Structure 1
């Protein structure tokens, strides 16, 4: 005599209170996934503020070049010139001291002053905005170049006239007079920006704000699916 056949049990229907397989697969990731923080795009308020600050820094640094030009005119050595009349009766001008190094000193004075101004400007920008940012660095670099160009123009404008023949005629034959300020090494125009970038990046690396470290035992997602990084 055979046992009666019993029908198979009906398929188990998940209870609304039981987590589904999809939820169970995502559950581990929920413990590790951090809430997404809102980030500003390139046109957001944060970027606009940084661009405005970078522009302010560029203008302020560029205007400081006028002070650099005054100091360059005041501290740069004078190159002595002497005027004379040749056999044809034409005025000629030549260096009084052919072995002098005053011309090199003119370039060196501007370079050293620009390096000092670059250090001070970078320190001021860092103390004003410790968090840094690309617009601030770009504003500091571009402002340094503009400031050096302005200092070059201000120094040559304040210095002796560039018309050395007229100057020689005015002072007389055989009288020593100063040559106009001339910048022979054009690389000095980059000294301000170079010093500013190096000092600012160094201060930011040493004393800038750090990102908060994750808490002990907290896992960081290794992929975009909630899987904790090993």
Structure 2
């Protein structure tokens, strides 16, 4: 299997990707759901980091520091930085933000690598629905130093148009910030995995296709 197929099976085995009838935060009725909160063991996190590392390597993404937005992004950035070293011998720093600025000790907004001007930073997140996380962290990163945000890496691109735009959150992020978002897999990869028997769920295939046709975003 390809690493994308392996990742889809990994999500299903971890209970992160499930099929059925779900109401999303947007109000849309979806035949699948991605709940990254179901990653909960060291073994799962180590494996997840390897998939992030493979996506970074495959796409030749330039990176010096991985940034994990608090709170869910913190273990993701850590696991990805460890995997990049273990798998590819790449020594990459990591950092994350605090929800509140520390007013004692060394103080500051960030923990981990101190960012410098020109530093190539990659943001590590789980999924991207509206692009809210990127809009929140970009001012923090640019406020810390004149960094070069070379990419954002997520696990699943739903490829859905936003509620107020015909573009997907991924394409909107590029339009608004010039940040290219890479995903380990997207909805088309998941549909292909069902169709090819990589994971079970063929009874949901027609609903998956219908959902994609209804909410699929236009491309830039």
TM tier, shorter chain?
under 0.3
Larger Rg: 1
Greater strand content: 2
Higher helix proportion (structure 1 or 2):
1
| TM-score, with structure 1 as normaliser | 0.25
Structure 2 length as normaliser, TM-score?
A: 0.26
